[in-house]
Amino acid sequence: EVQLLESGGGLVQPGGSLRLSCAASGFTFSDYAMSWVRQAPGKGLEWVATLSGSGSGRGGSTSYADSVKGRFTISRDNSRNALFLHMNSLRAEDTAVYYCAKEGCTSTNCYINWWGQGTLVTVSS
Amino acid sequence: DIVMTQSPDSLAVSLGERATINCKSSQSVLNSSNKRNYLAWYQQKPGQSPKLLIYWASTREFGVPDRFSGSGSGTDFTLTISSLQAEDVAVYYCQQYSGTPHTFGQGTKLEIK
């Protein structure tokens, strides 16, 4: 069975940095695009970023929401079946549960067919 | 950006009755070359992660009960629950994945009347 386990969330001050990790299992990780989606407390879902199945280190394509572009970086390590989200210059409005998500395809224009349990990021002084 | 608008924001339906949720996109999500609508529906129960119900607008995900169905094309889409069960209480989201950002609708909260 597919499993996605996020870690790395926590409390960080405005302007700070954080790296989220997602350990994947139960499928051929390198074959699929992966995404991060966030949900602010009591709010709806917001797509954050997607990385294609080939991996950014080998020319994999990435896409970002405008709200995080230039501050967040999505990456993957196919040898470790791991997905990452490097978050810099964090703002209060970045406070949310961050979900690691598996796409149903290799390309970035695809639906999400599996979600992790999420990790909470709180940006506050 | 493609804006996704769901209606209604909330809905109360009696057990065994039909529930209908609408989703409208600000531009077409139909790919003219492969004739696919890049539209998915997700269910999020209280305290849980979202779960995929429908993709390509009308393809039911494996294991999803057949009382859930998706329809529509272009800019107008519908999620129908043919006979509401107690376990269907949740917030439902549509999402377009035709172009980035992969925008979600605001969500529709479904409750039992």
Query: Which of B100, B103, B108, B109 to probe by mutation at the A interface, max A CB count within 10 Å?
Result: B100
Residue A108 has what DSSP assignment?
S
Q: How far is CA B62 from CA A2, A55, B23, B52, B53, in A?
A: 14, 27, 22, 9, 9
Number of H helices and E strands in chain A, helices first, is 0, 11
Which residues in chain B have Cβ-Cβ distances shorter than 8 Å to A111?
A: 40, 52, 55-56, 95, 97
Q: How do residues B57-101 score in pLDDT, each as one tens digit?
A: 999 999 999 999 999 999 999 999 999 999 999 999 999 999 889
pLDDT for A106 equals 81
For residues B8-21, average pLDDT: 98
Q: How far is CA A47 from CA A16, A37, B82, B96, B104, in A?
A: 21, 4, 29, 11, 7
Whether A51 contacts A38, CB under 8 Å: no
Q: How do residues A41-78 score in pLDDT, each as one tens digit?
A: 999 999 999 998 864 444 478 999 999 999 999 999 99
**How many residues does this entry show for chain A?**
125
CA distance A87 to A96: 13
CA distance B13 to B113: 5
Interchain contact, A50 vs B100, CB within 8 Å: yes
